Structure 1
């Protein structure tokens, strides 16, 4: 089956760089499947799980807290704010991070709309992390 190059980069390191058959990314507008030959685009990511498919099966699941994806016919580059293999997620840590994000959101109530939106996006990403930890 045809493949394309997938690269997943977080601020800490290059997490993944290899040919894959398909990737499903948590685009801001909803889940987005990418196959070889996809039309070029740049997509904002929300908190959620990236699913990597090889050999007709899901081979890897990674949680991302947000970021961007540059999609092209032969390459997908994901620039993630934070990325963690789903198997390494902890519900307890996710709950702790949700509590902190809720406090951040409450503190942003009197701030600009942009700061409130950023705080809400962080809270939603941490909720997605807890869901991924439970499903993982």
Structure 2
């Protein structure tokens, strides 16, 4: 039995196929989704979407945030930014983390909205660096 998976960015549909299982980075923790899962809508944090086929991870996508809608037979990942793990640029990921750290350090604690936004950006940038494929780490 399989579950239909759709991964969408603001620009296009990146993937639509049946898979065995999907693990998504929910804001409250990773969520494994199998066929028959309870319905839910959740926000996403920066991290990897793992796609399982034949008992193993077949493909991984980095998402910076967004939402996921789960039904008994379908998962739709609606991501703010999404990239295949194999296409992550290690140097650009490191630059994004440095910029996010600088922005976070400069934000005023008195501005709750700016603090939350800077914190979310920092979490996503750290997740991007953590998602760099092992073969690309030496390029940072």
Q: What band does the TM-score fall into relative to the shorter chain?
A: over 0.9
Instruction: Give, in whole Å, the separation in 1 of the partners of 2:105 and 2:60.
Output: 31
Q: How does 1:34-53 map to 2 (within 5 A)?
A: 34-53=33-52
1:92 and 1:30 mapped to 2: Cα distance? 27
Any stretches of 5+ residues in structure 1 without a counterpart? Answer: none
Please give the alpha-carbon distance, in whole angstroms, between the structure 2 residues aligned to 1:47 and 1:125: 4
CA distance in structure 1 between the partners assigned to 2:85 and 2:133 by the alignment: 9
Moved over 3 A (4+): none
TM-score of the superposition, structure 2-length normalised?
0.90
Alignment of 1:1-136 (within 5 A): 2-109=1-108, 112-135=111-134
Q: Is the 8 A contact 2:5 2:15 kept in 1?
A: yes
> How far is the alpha carbon of 1:111 from its aligned partner?
5.6
1:23 is displaced (CA, Å) by: 0.2
2:62 match: secondary structure: strand
Shift of 1:108: 2.7
Shift of 1:46: 0.4
